[in-house]
Structure 1
Amino acid sequence: MTSERVERRLAAVLASDVAGYSRLMGADEIGTLAALKKLRREMIDPAIAAHNGRIVKTTGDGMLVEFASAVDAVTCAVTVQEKMTQNRDKAGPPIQFRIGINVGDIIVDGDDIYGDGVNIAARIESECAPGEVYLSDDAYRHVRGKTMLAFDDLGERWLKNIDRPVRVYAGRLVSPSTKGITLPERIGRPLPLPDKPSVVVLPFQNMSADPEQEYVADGIVEDITTALSRFKALFVIARNSSFTYKGRAVDVKQVGRELGVRYVLEGSVRKATGRLRITGQLIDAATGSHIWADRFDGDVADIFQLQDQVTERVVGAIAPAIERAEIERARLKPTESLDAYSLYLRGLSKFYKFSGQANAEALRLFKIAIDVDPDFAAAYGRAALCYVSAKAFGWSSDLSSEVVEVKRFSQRAVGLGKDDAMALSLSAWALAYGAGDLQSGSSLIDRALAMNSNLADSWHYGGWIKNWLGEREIAIERFAHAIRLSPLDPLIAIAKAGAAHCHFYLGRYDEAMSWAALAFQDDANNQAVLRIVAASNALAGRTDEAREAVALLCEVNPTLRLSNLKEVLGPYRQEDLLLYQEAMRRAGLPE
């Protein structure tokens, strides 16, 4: 006598229901049913299909969905909940979903599924707060570091009819699209605080009579941020994220929630008749209370000393255990020449406008700064970065004639900036992307991160370099770390695209598409984003979507062809380049 074979498989299981469904039906039965059907038709079912899910069954207000990928399941769930939040104020019954997700072994019986993997998902859903997405620890392990989501550890829970405690996590979107959304609406729930004192330096207000002095205030903030980031005992948000608040009236409690920091430093700068005044106040973002407030006055020639004083006061207030040696290390001055420093700040102001014309002007200013002070390491690094940025963003059609300059500026920055993590990082990126020297670039990134683990740029550049070297899992971790240090970065799409490239080369085309979709939300015109959307769709067999992305790509860069694709991709290994070219050929990129 033989027993019937039972089909089993590993799957990500999503269980959902409507919070307070009986109450809603009692108040408005017809309206609730109509609203629920509309939500399924217009929002939920399309989201499930887009993330390759299979609806197993629906039971009144409930739904059971199977996914082959945990990343797809979680991304789909969080996307639905975010859309529900955005539509909550519209007329109709106030419907909220609870969603639970588990990864486990399931029993397949026809179109239905059973087993422990299903039961745990359903029990987690019953624990879930309305409007939230809860994951089991097994699901969390499958998605950790692979999405642009944040996860809060809710601890172990004893679930009904489950014979062991299950650790539960709440998942949420970190940085959805900023298009058409005012800043306070970007992130509705707080990021978890790091395990060490965390701080962001907001843009200082320019109190000078001359608006042209804005670059001085911005430069001071950048230098204070850099000085603070040298302290390994601190977690410091990157400049690119902090400057998204520039020109806004902000609520420091909201800033703390959006960036996941405990402390906020804000202030002002006044420059007049050779004198400089910096005011600063350090605020506890959790309570809104002031830790300290002070002003620092001196001659313009004392600018570095004044910045040191502000930095020391911040460090002394929030990390008193930091060793004196680290404080002395943070006093490193970029240059002794105030003229060179002023030119450098002007160059930074231009560089951060992220346009071809501004980039060319920034390069000119950095070169003049070098002429004034030939030992200014950071200026050499920034000049090299301008060259490679022109290539990366399509502002220059050919970098081959400038490779000699890239190497010269980069090597000079390394020689002068042995203790300057930013100079080393800029040089690493320029040498790797601009000159194809991956080994030197990788070594410099490692040195920079050993000096300063708070530099988002180092993690970002290091992610791309590891990707080109074929070390994709390490690259994914570096991209995730870069995004946590700078969650509102205007260039965050490039880091997400980097993670998508890594998954693409690991053969995880669905996960690559999940990352690419997040990147596309942030910057739908970025060439790196459009390329990986096209390539991932092509190898996943979604030809129409791949060709649509190529059509957009050719609008952004009409000169791009398979024959010159290598010039913009970066220094990939030959086998990686051939795979990328084949994917783009299938996507319809012209020869």
Structure 2
Amino acid sequence: MVKIFSGRSSGNSDRAISGCQGNGGNMQSVEPRPATLCLFGSPSLSVDGRAVTIGRRARAMLGYLALANQQRASRERLTGLFWPDRAEEQARASLRQCLVELRGALGNAIIADREWVGLGSGLDGDWHALDRALKSDDAAGLAEAITRIGAEPLLDGHEFGDTFDDWLRGCRAALDARLAAAVLRHMALARAAGDVPAALAMADAWLLRDPRDEAVAAAAIGCEMARGNTAAARRRLRLFEDMLARDGDGPASAALRAAIEAVPEPLVVPSTAVALATGAEMALPDKPSIAVLPFADLMGDPSQTVFADGMVEEISTVLSRFSSLFVIAGQSSLSYRDSGRTVQQIGRELGVRYLLEGSVRKGGDKVRISVKVIEAMSGEQIWAERFDGDFADVFDLQDRVANAAASAIDSTITEAEMRRATVRPAATAGAYELTMRASGLLNTYSRASITEARDVAERAFALDPRSGWAASVAAFCHGALRLNQWTDDLDGATSRARELGEIALQLSPDDQTVLVNVGGMMMNIGADLAPARELIERAMAMNPEHVHSIFWGGWLDVELGNPARGLERFEKALRLNPRSVYRPFQLSGMGNCLFFLERFDEAAIVQAEAIRVRPGYLPAHAVKVASLARSGRLAEGRTAMLEFDALGGAALGLWYFRSSEQRKQLRAAFALLDRDRGSTDLRPSAAVA
């Protein structure tokens, strides 16, 4: 048995409660109301479709909280931003009055306790639309959102002192840098796909906001040249030079003028890591490839959708045990529920030849699974079958589905390989269903979903104390709550995670899912790496294609100082599971490996994509800043550092790196940004594009 050792711990976080507190008393609860907040130009607020008048500081504070991406702000931070010249008690009293004003307008959408303030749900607006477009990778939505905000600056006309002004200046610079990078990326992808009009539409939307962006202007000229429209390219150059002349500046740079003469080249992706991060279309693997799409739920009970999704993940896991198949992880497949995409589009996006579709119906003690396998490119059905069984034998039913589907697409699969793929022991029906539901809840990976998953898994384990699977899921949930500080009792979560992990290993010492869940939990609670390494390597030996084993193997390599192998593992995990909720953590792991391999430009690109998907993820911000600094891009690095500092900076960001040597390398990179402040860019000329 692997012993789970105690590791680092931290103090309890403050408990957030709805409502504002002043002088020890709670305000009366007011339900949140649908509200629209416009942050570009002079901020404005409307509730239930009607304009609401609130003070300048209240509007600016609302903007600050909205831009924090669901991160809470301390009262100390807010008083320092908005009342820097007032004594502490006077500033805190002013803050309480401001929160009363906001709560009167927005109800319980303002969440506060004695130390922290945050925003709940129900708020939408121009910033939210822009952020959604950036996170969803929606090119058309991004162009529309950029057009809507026009040239208006963020929080225009709001100044409250040096602290606020520095924050706002950094926030504006970081947002514009993020937008400019997204615009260039979408332009490159559209041009590579042959959609030059879409690339130009994106450029024109951005140039209305930042007409002096030479990089985007040059890309637009390149697009015009790519489609043979030299006259349009020269007209764009002339308009750009006229704009510079009106502003009293010199001529366009040589690089911009050279875009007219350049011979158009195809998009060159510098590495597998960058290709995976930026969403390049995937080539088909050498062996038969398949993804299991979300099952239709025929039970008429919305709560049973989680059960249907769990079936998809379980069947995907069984299929992944066939060494002759390439199987996309169930988490990525589930992202296509209600997407409206055709099978051809899904096949191209996931890079697979076959898709398995199906439905599940549960009635009493019986379960029926109907499935079919489709050739993605043609849409042709090549096999279909229906499977009936008792719910108590649901594992056997899943194995039968996976075996039959595997045989349908690859005739070389043998009976011996089928036997190796069916290893999960039977479980109590009620406990099985609850554990599957808990596993499904992990796929959204938020504070609420992980908390609910923990409670559901604990109920499953109480119902069936012999289920190592249930114990391991509950252990992982406790570890995730501790890592993200999503619980009031961090020490209690650590202790319970360790206890359940040991029980799970006693009950199911040879179950791959249990080994990975417990190994991942041990890394999340800061336990000793040796036992975690033993568990994860055993799991990888059982099934080298199991995506979660590969993912945690990558993080082990990061921690143990083996970035080359870690990069290979993260690249493989991202290829197998390209659309999961864990994508930002896969990307950040890749970025870490690239940084420690001294591939700094690529590290910056990959970490920027991780931040786009999960903006508040501090380790990604830390490595992005360090990568920009080490690549000599000091101006970009300082802008990124402002955004990093707004989230907590090195004091919080470096906590995630347990290696003292890695923390030393990151601090050394940060220090570069404090030197030679007169320099704007020391980027090597041979840097990766």
Matched residue, 2:226: 97
2:306 to 215, 226, 248: 215
Query: Is 1:148 aligned to 2:148, yes or no?
Result: no
Report 1:165-564 matches (<5 A).
175=279, 190-333=281-424, 335-396=426-487, 399-540=490-631, 542-553=633-644, 555-556=646-647, 560=648, 562-563=650-651
Written as runs of structure 1 = structure 2, the 5 A alignment for 1:110-149 is: 132-133=266-267, 143-145=270-272, 147-149=273-275
Aligned to 1:580: 666
Normalized against structure 2, the TM-score is what?
0.58
**Following the alignment from structure 1 to structure 2, what is the Cα–Cα distance between the partners of residues 404 and 391?**
10
The structure that is strand-richer by fraction is: 1
Instruction: Summarize deviations over 1:478-522 as a string: whole Å, max 9, x none.
Output: 111111101222321221111211222233332321221232333
Contact between 1:174 and 1:191, CA under 8 Å: does it hold in 2?
no
1:237 and 1:174, CA in 2 relative to 1: closer, same or farther beyond 3 A?
Answer: farther
Aligned partner of 2:665: which letter? Answer: L
Structure 2 distance, partners of 1:327, 1:174, is 36
The answer to whether the 8 Å contact 1:370/1:379 transfers is: yes
Once the two structures are superposed, residues 282-310 of structure 1 have per-residue CA deviations (whole angstroms, 9 ceiling, x without a partner) of 11113211111122223333423322221
In structure 2, C-alpha distance between the alignment counterparts of 1:426 and 1:294, rounded to whole Å: 33
* 1:57 alignment partner in structure 2: none
Q: Give the direction of change, closer, same or farther, for the CA distance of 1:410–1:584 in structure 2 (3 Å limit).
A: farther
Q: Tell me the amino acid that sits aligned with residue 416 of structure 1.
A: L
- Structure 2: distance between partners of 1:402 and 1:320: 48
- Mapped partners of 1:579, 1:486: distance in 2: 30
Q: Matches of 2:628 and 2:482 in 1, distance apart?
A: 25
Matched with 2:197 is 88
Secondary structure (helix, strand or coil) at the match of 1:481 reads: helix
1:165-197: CA deviations, max 9, x gaps? xxxxxxxx752xxxxxxxxxxx6xx52111111
Normalising to structure 1: TM-score of the pair? 0.67
Contact residue 520 and residue 552 of structure 2 kept, 8 A: yes
User: Structure 1 residue 226: deviation in Å?
Assistant: 1.0
**Which amino acid in the other structure matches residue 149 of structure 1?**
A
CA distance in 1 between counterparts of 2:342 and 2:410 reads 24
Structure 1 or 2: more helix by fraction: 2
Identity of aligned residues (%): 33
Q: Distance in 1 between matches of 2:475 and 2:668?
A: 32
| Superposed displacement of residue 585, structure 1 | 6.8
Matches of 1:305 and 1:522, distance apart in 2: 37
How many residues align structurally?
442
User: How far 1:473 sits from its partner (Å)?
Assistant: 0.6
Secondary structure of the residue aligned to 2:224 is coil
Distance 1:134 1:587 in 2: 30
Residue deviations 1:24-55 (CA, integer Å, cap 9, x gap): xxxxxxxxxxxxxxxxxxxxxxxxxxxxxxxx
Structure 1 residues 297-306 or 436-445, which shifts more?
297-306
Q: Helix, strand or coil for the counterpart of 1:267?
A: strand
Q: Which amino acid aligns with 1:97?
A: A
Q: Which amino acid in 1 is paired with 2:562?
A: E
Change (3 A) 1:250 1:78: closer
- Contact kept? 1:198, 1:261, Cα under 8 Å: yes
Q: Deviations over 1:521-546 (max 9, x none)?
A: 33333223222223323444545544
1:4 maps to none
Instruction: Encode CA deviations 1:257-289: one digit per residue, 9 max, x unaligned.
Output: 111111100011122344322111111113211
The 1:402–1:581 alpha-carbon spacing in structure 2 relative to 1, beyond 3 Å, is farther
Segments of 5+ residues of structure 1 without an aligned counterpart are 1-74, 99-111, 113-121, 136-142, 151-172, 176-186
Give the unaligned 5+ runs of structure 2.
1-181, 205-220, 228-253, 255-261, 675-689
Q: How many Å separate the matches in 2 of 1:352 and 1:542?
A: 36
Counterparts in 2 of 1:396 and 1:509: CA distance versus 1, 3 Å: farther
Q: Are residues 265 and 471 of structure 1, via their aligned partners in 2, closer, same or farther at CA, if it must alter by over 3 Å?
A: same
Asked if the contact 1:562–1:585 (Cα under 8 Å) also holds between the matched residues in 2, the reply is: no
In 2: Cα distance, 1:382 partner to 1:478 partner: 23
1:99-154 CA-partner distances (Å, limit 9, x unpaired): xxxxxxxxxxxxx9xxxxxxxxx9xx88x7xxx3368xxxxxxx444x2316xxxx
Secondary structure class of the residue paired with 1:149: helix
Contact 1:335 1:373 in 2 (8 A): no
